[in-house]
Amino acid sequence: MAQRGIIGTTAVVLAGGPPDKLSATMPGAPNKAFVAIGGVAMVERTLRALRSAASISRIIVVAPQLVRGHPALALADEFRPDGARIRDSLRSGLAGLPRDAGVLVSTSDLPVLTAESIDDYVMRAHEKDADLTYGCIEKHVHLAKYPSVPHTWAPLRDGTYCGTGFVTMRPRVWNSLERFIEQLGHARKNPLYLARLFGWDILFRFATRRLSIADAEERASRVIGARVRAVISPYPEIGVNVDRVSDIALAETLVQERD
């Protein structure tokens, strides 16, 4: 159950983007968010969980203009058009929100998401008192419940983790975060630029599995210019997403087992 003080959170659901290999498997789906799992579009499954969460009072969905009014988006309070890039869609979703409010940003491809996992994340993020949080799941927690779901794992000194479909942020940090996202895009295929962005010491510690969560938080906070913290969730549901065509059948199985 959500604690007093975090009820009233706005959620921004990113359901934008062009058609892709996943949407090609389902005629009429404008992008992967509208691919049905168990007969229900993934974005609708995500919205159902958010609407059931005690901590969420407002839901903004960001999606292609052509799906405005789509039945799968009926549970959202507000529709906003997406952009050419994820950061354009995020900018659209955050526009006009209170600068200091904590906003939950969610992907739209979380087929087994639950209200309990949402409320737990919002509570943990609230307790961090951070400008930006990034959701993580420890490997043994994930494998204990979803051993068949693959992930890309990051080995750290504290343990081995994967990312999730959740972040929280205060809109006031958007400008500096957007600059960081742009820099990260430039650095993605350029090791020297990446080293200049984060520092050789951070890359070396990561490569030798000596990088701690605290190290990563400190350097990310310095680079972005905001207080950044990791949120380690005990709910692997927030990290079970659908990225590949092969994930669709797996998600169908998971939904059938749960329902």
DSSP codes of every residue in 11-49: EEEE------TTGGGSTT-SSGGG-EETTEEHHHHHHHH
Number of domains present in the structure of the chain: 1
The reply to whether 3 falls in a domain is no
What is the domain range of residue 123? 9-258
Give the rounded percent of residues in the chain with a pLDDT score beyond 90: 83
The reply to whether 80 falls in a domain is yes
Query: Over the stretch 198-250, which tens digit does the pLDDT of each residue have?
Result: 888 888 888 888 999 999 999 999 999 999 999 999 999 999 999 999 999 99
Query: Over the stretch 88-109, which tens digit does the pLDDT of each residue have?
Result: 999 999 999 999 999 999 999 9
The reply to whether 2 falls in a domain is no
* CATH code of residue 76: 3.90.550.10
The reply to whether 236 falls in a domain is yes
Give the rounded percent of residues in the chain with a pLDDT score beyond 70: 93
Confidence of residue 186 (pLDDT cuts 50, 70, 90): low
The reply to whether 110 falls in a domain is yes
The reply to whether 144 falls in a domain is yes
Q: How many CB atoms lie within 10 A of CB 246?
A: 10
Query: Over the stretch 16-54, which tens digit does the pLDDT of each residue have?
Result: 999 999 999 999 999 999 999 999 999 999 999 999 999
Query: Over the stretch 122-181, which tens digit does the pLDDT of each residue have?
Result: 999 999 999 999 999 999 999 999 999 999 899 999 999 999 999 999 999 999 999 888
What's the pTM?
0.93
**3-class SS letters over 134-203:** EEEEEHHHHHHHCCCCCCCCEEECCEEEEEEEEEEECHHHHHHHHHHHHHHHHHCCCHHHHHHHHCHHHH
